[in-house]
């Protein structure tokens, strides 16, 4: 039998990738009846996570074990976890501090007994600290800036503040190695960022649309932490021990990625929606406790793709279809048009880096939904497809999937505002199948 040479295999690969991608995009990609809470996926709430079956179907269908799968805007790391579980080299980037910590923890197996005992020590120490509650408030004033304290006082009841501070001090006194310290921090965060707002006075934190809920029942933070820790330790102790194949870095995907050209075999990512989901609105509820100053977080928030930050006067490097959408929006709202222009300018930079690092003949999967701005529907998938084609991709096809809104954890109307714009959109999203042509 003649073994094909590497060059022969490379020449055959694009045909296989093209055929495989077309077949995958034509399948049912809704996954409404599939469980999504296996492995470490249920570790921490995160807005707009796609179901893990979505990245998995492309990872299994378009790569082999040992090949590199990248998500340059990984969020909580659903695609990274799936690549890790499938035995691929997983590479993820993000600029959100909480997302980075969550993803590191979700891909790092723990020793169940070691983690459980560390958690018990933390809980016992926190209970003892609460018995000297008068010392906790001075510790908070010393630790947090006036602006951060104002935020904490607004969103957390006094008893919850004392319990959370006691937990933090107890965690710090353990002097743990970084992986276990990160695990305890993620458990701590998970009792705050939930659909109900956890132990804060907020409602709908997991959907990134926090509202102060007057009269919200008190929840014992230490008891909830203890229960959550046991559940999380059980999840992570069952992970495979090949975490050495996971690489997670804080990096802005609009800037040059720390990867060589043509070094990635598959990209699966879900970029932020244009002007729709503000992750920092929820994440700051945990990050402020971890010592991130609330003013600094607001500054960081302004740098996110899809933020309200503007500053793009025109769109000279964008396709005419994008320019037309921006100009149409400008007729009714010039500020929103600048936000939209900035979003697509940012995505052009990100897609340019994706095409640079992707191996020729390989695929890039971009999952995105439309946005509604001032009553105008922005067909983000079509416009990103046009941008992708300009930077060097070929759009093979665009598939549509219907959303299970509760499981996708998308923003919902609050109380009586059932006719809000946020409710009238985000019922479907699109999967853009890009292919990087051979040179």
* Total residue count of the chain as it appears in this document: 439
CATH number of the domain where residue 407 is located: 3.40.50.150
Domain that holds residue 369: 6-109+245-270+310-435
Q: Is residue 295 part of a domain?
A: no
Residue 208's pLDDT is 60
Per DSSP, the residues of 78-143 read HHHHHHHHTTPEEEEEES-HHHHHHHHHHTS---HHHHHHHHHHHHHHHHHHHTTGGGHHHHHHHH
Residues 197 and 131 in one domain: yes
The reply to whether 228 and 258 lie within a common domain is: no
Quick one: pLDDT at residue 5? 38
Closest by CA to 40, choosing from 93, 89, 83, is 83
**Is residue 7 very low, low, confident or very high in pLDDT (cuts 50, 70, 90)?**
very low
Q: Is the pLDDT of residue 196 over 80?
A: no
- Residue 284, in any domain of the structure: no
Boundary residue ending a domain (212, 236, 260) = 236
Residue 127 and residue 105 share a domain: no
Together in a domain, 382 and 260: yes
Q: Cβ neighbours of residue 32 under 8 Å, at least 6 residues apart?
A: 402, 404, 407
- My answer on whether 145 and 215 are in the same domain is yes
Beta bridge partners of 393: none
Q: Three-state DSSP class for 357?
A: helix
Q: Are residues 263 and 365 in the same domain?
A: yes
Whether pLDDT at 416 is above 90: no
- Considering the domain architecture, whether residues 197 and 118 belong to the same structural domain is answered as yes
How far apart are alpha carbons 97 and 82 in whole angstroms? 21
Q: Is residue 278 part of a domain?
A: no
Note whether 65 and 24 are same-domain residues.
yes
Cα separation of the two ends of the chain: 30
DSSP 13-65: HHHHHHHHHHHHHTS----TTS---STTTTSS--TTPPPTHHHHHHHHHH--T
Q: Which three-class secondary structure string do you get for 245-283?
A: HEEEEECCCCCCCCCCCCCEEEEEECCCCCCCCCHHHHH
The reported pTM is: 0.90
Per-residue confidence (pLDDT) for residue 194, from 0 to 100: 87
Number of Cβ within a 10 Å radius of residue 152: 20
What residue has token string 């959109």?
Answer: 425
Report whether 332 contacts 376 (CB < 8 A).
Answer: yes
Contact (Cβ atoms closer than 8 angstroms) between residue 392 and residue 368: no
Cα R_g (the chain), whole angstroms: 23
Mean pLDDT, residues 91-95: 97
Nearest partner of 276 among 305, 299, 251, judged by Cα: 305
Q: For the chain, how many structural domains are there in total?
A: 2
Question: Do both 334 and 430 map to the same domain?
Answer: yes
Q: For the ranges 86-90, 262-266, 309-313, 411-415, which has the lowest average pLDDT?
A: 411-415
Average pLDDT over residues 421-429: 62
For residue 380, is it within any domain?
Answer: yes
CB 276 within 8 A of CB 377: no
Same domain? 153 vs 203: yes
Query: Between 433 and 274, whose confidence is greater?
Result: 433
- pLDDT value at residue 9: 41
Shared domain for 88 and 15, answered yes or no, is yes
How far apart are the C-alpha atoms of 40 and 250, rounded to whole Å? 21
SS3 68: strand
Does residue 175 come out as left (phi exceeding 0), alpha (psi in the -120 to 50 range) or beta? left
Structural domain contains residue 261? yes
pLDDT at 8 over 70: no
Is pLDDT at 423 greater than 80 in this prediction? Answer: no
**Domain's final residue, options 236, 259, 281:** 236
296 occurs within a structural domain: no
Output the pLDDT for position 275. Answer: 67
- Is the pLDDT reported for residue 422 higher than 70? no
- Residue 217: CA atoms inside 13 Å, Cβ hemisphere, count? 3
Contact indicator for 207, 411 with CB cutoff of 8 Å: yes
pLDDT band at 16, cuts 50/70/90? confident
Q: Calculate the CA 358 to chain-centre distance.
A: 21
Write down which residue in 182, 210, 236 finishes a domain: 236
Phi-psi region of 375 (alpha: psi -120 to 50; beta: other; left: phi over 0): left
| Residue matched to tokens 């707009």 | 48
282 vs 395: which has the higher pLDDT: 395
Task: Please indicate, yes or no, if residue 303 is contained in any of the structural domains.
Answer: no
Q: Is the dihedral of CA 117, 118, 120, 124 positive or negative?
A: positive
Q: Which DSSP state fits 318?
A: S
Flag whether pLDDT at 408 surpasses 60: no
**Separation between Cα atoms, residue 76 and residue 282, nearest integer Å:** 13
Q: Residue 22 falls within a domain, yes or no?
A: yes
314 and 418 both lie in a single domain:
yes
């Amino acid at each position: 039998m003649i073994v094909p040479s590497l060059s022969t295999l490379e020449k055959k690969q694009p045909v296989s990738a093209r055929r495989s991608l077309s077949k995958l995009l034509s399948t049912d990609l809704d996954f409404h009846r599939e469980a999504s809470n296996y492995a470490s996926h249920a570790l921490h709430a995160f807005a707009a996570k796609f179901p893990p079956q979505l990245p998995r179907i492309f990872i299994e269908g378009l790569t082999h074990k040992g090949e590199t799968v990248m998500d340059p805007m990984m969020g909580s790391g659903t695609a990274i976890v799936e690549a890790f579980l499938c035995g691929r080299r997983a590479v993820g980037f993000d600029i959100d501090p909480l997302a980075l910590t969550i993803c590191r923890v979700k891909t790092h197996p723990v020793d169940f007994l070691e983690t459980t005992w560390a958690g018990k020590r933390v809980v016992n120490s926190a209970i003892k600290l609460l018995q000297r509650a008068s010392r906790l408030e001075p510790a908070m004033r010393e630790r947090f800036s006036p602006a951060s304290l104002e935020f904490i006082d607004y969103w957390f009841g006094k008893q919850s503040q004392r319990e959370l501070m006691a937990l933090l001090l107890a965690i710090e006194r353990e002097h743990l190695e970084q992986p276990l310290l990160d695990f305890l921090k993620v458990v701590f965060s998970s009792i705050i960022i939930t659909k109900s707002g956890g132990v804060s006075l907020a409602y709908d934190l997991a959907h990134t649309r926090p509202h102060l809920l007057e009269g919200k029942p008190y929840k014992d933070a230490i008891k909830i932490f203890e229960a959550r820790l046991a559940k999380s330790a059980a999840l992570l102790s069952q992970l495979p021990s090949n975490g050495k194949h996971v690489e997670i870095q804080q990096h802005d995907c609009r800037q040059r990625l720390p990867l060589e050209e043509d070094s990635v075999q598959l990209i699966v990512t879900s970029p932020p929606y244009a002007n729709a989901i503000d992750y920092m609105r929820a994440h700051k509820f945990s990050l402020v406790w971890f010592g991130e100053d609330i003013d600094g977080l607001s500054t960081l928030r302004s740098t996110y793709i899809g933020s309200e930050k503007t500053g793009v006067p025109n769109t000279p490097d964008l396709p005419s279809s994008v320019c037309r959408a921006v100009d149409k929006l400008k007729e009714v709202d010039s500020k929103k048009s600048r936000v939209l222009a900035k979003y697509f300018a940012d995505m052009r930079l990100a897609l340019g880096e994706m095409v640079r690092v992707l191996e020729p003949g390989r695929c890039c999967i971009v999952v995105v939904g439309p946005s509604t701005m001032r009553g105008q529907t922005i067909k983000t998938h079509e416009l990103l497809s046009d941008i992708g084609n300009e930077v060097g991709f070929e759009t093979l096809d665009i598939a549509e999937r219907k959303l299970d809104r509760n499981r996708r954890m998308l923003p919902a109307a609050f109380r009586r505002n059932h006719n809000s714009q946020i409710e009238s959109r985000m019922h479907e999203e699109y999967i853009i199948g890009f292919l990087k042509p051979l040179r």
